[in-house]
Amino acid sequence: MTARQRILSLFLITTAALPTFAEDTDDSTLIVNWDGRYRYESQQGNTAGGTPIIMIHLLTVAKGETPCRLEINGYQTAENLLCAAETSGARIDINFVSHAGGSVKNSYGVAIYKPGETLFSLERSAQDGDLITHWGALTPDGVKSQSGAFFVKEAPGEPLSPPQQKRLDLSSPDKQKNESSE
């Protein structure tokens, strides 16, 4: 591969993760292509034993009839929600539809969210393209502000970052034995 081809490949990979903006000719509002995966990862302190409490919110939005999905995984948590995404220019509302099994009740038989209720909204700034989260019915523990930069858009096919890979590898008992014996 020539240097020119490498530079072109790098440019194409880099720009694939950027949001797509377009001007709406009717009302000159910003329109954003929201398709993709968005991640919010937070550390919410430590357990009594000192293990970090990590929560990962993974939102997947795709065109078509398929509803969006919100997976919330972490310390004593494994939720898989089906959502409806309503877009309006530079904003997308993520509304609760049901849990993955089709029930509006969670695995404990409790209906935390109402169908159609806005869990949160994402908004792209017209000035700098920053992604701002506005929490609604879903506000994670430890969040001090109802709005802010929480979610980030992942590049297509992006692997987990090294710290996440390490945490995931350590969940395997065989890996833990190997790590502790070194």
| Digit-coded pLDDT (tens) for 44-80 | 889 999 999 999 999 999 876 667 999 999 988 999 9
Is the pLDDT score of 171 beyond 50? no
Is the pLDDT score of 91 beyond 90? yes
**Residue 135: exposure state from Cβ atoms within 10 A (0-12, 13-18, ≥19):** middle
Using DSSP, state whether 165 is helix, strand or coil. Answer: helix
d(CA 61, CA 112): 22
**pLDDT at res. 65:** 61
Among the residue ranges 15-19, 56-60, 78-82, 85-89, the one predicted with the least confidence is 15-19
Share of the chain above pLDDT 70, in %: 67
More confident residue, 174 or 58: 58
H helices present in 17-120, as ranges? none
d(CA 37, CA 152): 8
Using DSSP, state whether 133 is helix, strand or coil. Answer: strand
Tokens describing residue 152: 């980030």
Is the pLDDT score of 119 beyond 90? yes
